[in-house]
Amino acid sequence: MKAQNLQEVITNLKTELTKSPDDKKRASIYSDLTWYYASVSVDSALHYGKKAITATEILKDSTLLAQIYSDLGAVHFRNNDFKNSERNYLQSYQIRKKQNNIAGIAKLNNNLASVYQSTFQYKKAMKMYLEALNFFESKADEKNINATKANIGLLFIDLKDNTNAIKYITEAIDFFEEQDKNVEFDNKLCENYLNLGKAFQMKKDYATAEKYYNKSSEICNKVGNKQGYAFSKRNLGNLNTLLKNDSAAELNLKISKETRKEFNSKLDTESNDIDVAQNLIVQEKFLEAKRILLKILPVFEKENSKENLLSTYKLLTNIYHHSSQTDSADLFFEKYVALDSDLVNTSVNKDTSEMEKKYRSLQKDNEILSQKSKIFKTNVIVFSLLGFLLMGFIYYKNYQNKQKIKLQKEILHQQDLATKAVMNAEDNERKRMATHLHDGIGQLLTAANMNMSVLDEYKKDENNFTKVLNKTREILAEAMLDVRTLSHQIMPNMLIKNSLADALRDLISKTNSPKLHLELKMEGLKKDLNQNIQVVMYRIIQECINNTIKHAKANKVEISLIQSNDMIEAIFKDDGIGFNPLKINSRNDGLGLENIRSRIDMLKGDLKIDSAEGKGTSIIMKIPI
């Protein structure tokens, strides 16, 4: 849609109505007017919504009818009429369920979740948001993925989890900023910059909050989103009040109130008066504030607007305390506590909030009738903080225990995997040795035996006897050489006769060449080092050298071994081409990284591999002794 302002879009749609469209086109225009008026005028949106339903029912177009009910749900939601919002969303849901419209149902889950969030059913809301997000991700529907993320971010604001709120909302904003500018995406930016400002204000980062409120205000005003513009100005006014900037607060709250009147939402208009009253209290204009609050209180009670009632009760309690009207203060405080407890019991933080409610009740019983307003407020803060600290400590200890158990299970699991890996490696080694014995040494001994069996036939033939005897000796010599080679592969001769240090020196001496220079440094290495540790260290260093020769194209290798009282550490570095450890296939690389790691894990050691393509390789091994 080329128009960049909601009012332009609405004007264009009304122009289309004057061109005598057919019944289906007219119904579609009524539906679009319902949606676009939702952010401009509640009355107009509801008016065209009724027209759209009537026209669509005549057409018997169930798909369009489902969309209209969904749009009406959004209109009632923006008017804080959550009961009618849910009713319309559910009517749309039933139609789409009959149509087996899975995508449409996912979008309704998103919308219904917003209703449940606004009525403090946080667990239910989060469940539906996540179900919707899962569906949209499965379809790679980026627009709805990010719309859902924005909703989840707003839910995290309600849960006071500002870090996650900022994360989700920022991801959504980044997506919408990258799209071609139009009314739909500008509306999303208008709303999400507003919510991002809320999250930063709750973090007490007031400068960043003000920046995003101003950005929201600018976009909302440009696109003609009156509700978003009113909210951004209201939040700026509240922030100005908090920062003692009374004149700016008064101006922003005035603009917000005037815009809300244009939007035709009485509940929104009255809720704006709460902020005006709060600003008056800060200026110690208590009588003016009380007059405003008592005027709007019946509206909130009639609409059962719990959040607005809670704020009104709290401000009236403060006003009556200031004027020493303790009976009135007690009355509104009791209403505040009762309603606060009701809201708290529906939140996902039920246990923490129950603790807070008990402290509030205890503070009321012990202090409100006998102490002055200042002491009373101080005690509320102290008890609330104690409650939060206690519940936070209990939660932390419980979380810590769960993580400890989880870690222990993971350690056992990894040890089991390491054991299996070593057993598999040892089994493969046995198979290799068996094959070598059978196919190599076994065949040589068989040949020697056959030659020995014919020696008797050549006793009188000295020439042939000598040939067969020499051949037999050659076969036996080859068999003995194979036995020595196999023995050395199982356990290096130098390691058996001397120590790890001697074995490594021998290995380095045999490997050094003009193309590859190896340096070996050893410190504190003792001869009585555990045999298993010596073998593991030797084999791993041998494997590292082999891999360097085969793959690294290195010119220099540095090997360091350091033994302390409780640990032996080996560091292997080369200046080769490096590799990506994640791309290495252990089945095709000797011992392989996994088998190396498994051997070290069996000795309760630690292995760290640092390599990248073109940057050489560094391998650090630590084994306790």
DSSP secondary structure of 472-539:
HHHHHHHHHHHHHHHHHHHS-HHHHHS-HHHHHHHHHHHH--SS-EEEEEEES--TTS-HHHHHHHHH
Compute the distance between CA of residue 428 and CA of residue 150 in angstroms, rounded to an integer.
54
Q: Which of 5, 3, 48, 452 is nearest to 220 (CA)?
A: 5
Residues 6+ away with beta carbon under 8 Å from 52? 27, 30, 31, 33, 34, 68, 71
Contact 230, 259 (CB under 8 A): yes
Residue by residue, DSSP assigns 184-236 as HHHHHHHHHHHHHHHHHHHTT-HHHHHHHHHHHHHHHHHHT-HHHHHHHHHHH
Name which of 13-17, 108-112, 257-261, 482-486 the model is least confident about. 482-486
Q: What is the mean pLDDT of residues 160-164?
A: 87
Give the model confidence (pLDDT) of 15-29 as tens digits.
Answer: 999 998 999 999 999
Instruction: Supply 615's token pair.
Output: 């940057």
How far apart are alpha carbons 130 and 136 in whole angstroms?
Answer: 10
* Angle formed by the axes of helices 23-37 and 62-78, nearest 10°: 20
Provide the pLDDT for residue 465: 82
Residue identified by tokens 């929104």 is 268
* Highest-confidence segment of 314-328, 511-525, 592-606: 511-525
Whole-number percent of the chain with pLDDT over 70: 81
How many CA atoms does the CB half-sphere of 371 hold within 13 Å? Answer: 14
194-248 pLDDT per residue, tens: 999 999 998 999 999 999 999 999 998 998 888 889 889 988 988 888 888 888 8
* Sheet containing strand 556-563, strands side by side: 517-523, 556-563, 567-574, 617-624, 606-611
Question: What CA–CA distance (Å, rounded) separates 527 from 477?
Answer: 34
Full set of structural domains in the chain with CATH:
243-348 (1.25.40.10), 349-490 (no CATH), 497-624 (3.30.565.10)
437: confidence class by pLDDT, cuts 50, 70, 90:
low
Work out the average pLDDT over 54-62. 91
Q: How crowded is residue 197: how many other Cβ atoms within 10 Å of its Cβ?
A: 28
Closest by alpha carbon to 162, among 204, 118, 213? 204
Judged by DSSP in three states, 159 sits in: coil
Q: 574: part of which helix (H) or strand (E)?
A: strand 567-574
pLDDT band of residue 576 (cuts 50, 70, 90) is very high
The partner residues of 572 in beta bridges, in order of sequence, read 559, 619
Residue 364 reports pLDDT greater than 70: no
Pair of tokens at residue 236: 């700026």
- The overall average pLDDT reported for the chain is 80
- CA angle in degrees (0–180, nearest 5) for 67-73-78: 130
Q: What is the pLDDT of residue 342?
A: 60
pTM here? 0.46
Structure confidence at residue 495 (pLDDT): 66
The predicted model gives 526-552 an average pLDDT of 86
Give the pair of three-digit tokens for residue 50: 């009724």
**CB-CB contact of 68 with 52 (8 Å):** yes
- Check if the beta carbon of residue 113 is closer than 8 Å to that of residue 128: yes
Please report, for residues 70, 105, 107, 149, the alpha-carbon distance to residue 102 in angstroms, rounded to integers and kept in the order given.
15, 5, 9, 19
Q: What is the residue whose two structure tokens read 């499965």?
A: 138
End-to-end CA distance of the chain: 72
How does 123-139 read in b/e, with b if 16+ C-beta sit within 10 Å? ebbbebbebbbebbeee
Beta strand 556-563 pairing with 517-523? parallel
> 414 is written with which tokens?
């990894």
From 526, 537, 603, select the one nearest 572 (Cα to Cα): 537
How far apart are alpha carbons 401 and 395 in whole angstroms? 10
Give residue 69's pLDDT band: very low, low, confident or very high (50, 70, 90).
very high
Give the confidence band of 558 by pLDDT, cuts at 50, 70, 90. very high
Q: Is residue 153 a contact partner of residue 169, using CB atoms and an 8 Å limit?
A: yes
What values do phi and psi take at 236, rounded to 5?
A: -65, -40
Is pLDDT at 179 greater than 80 in this prediction?
A: yes
Q: How confident is residue 433, by pLDDT bands cut at 50, 70 and 90?
A: low
Looking at residue 3, its pLDDT comes to 44
- What pLDDT, in 10s, does the model give residues 113-139? 888 887 777 788 888 888 888 888 888
Q: Which residues have a Cβ under 8 Å from the Cβ of 265 and sit 6 or more positions away? A: 42, 78, 79, 80, 227
Facing residues of 608 across strands? 620
The token pair at 119 is 């009525």
Find which of 211-225, 274-288, 407-421 is predicted with most confidence, using mean pLDDT.
211-225
Beta bridge partners of 518: 557
Q: For residue 515, how many other CB atoms are within 10 A of its CB?
A: 9
pLDDT at 354 over 70: no
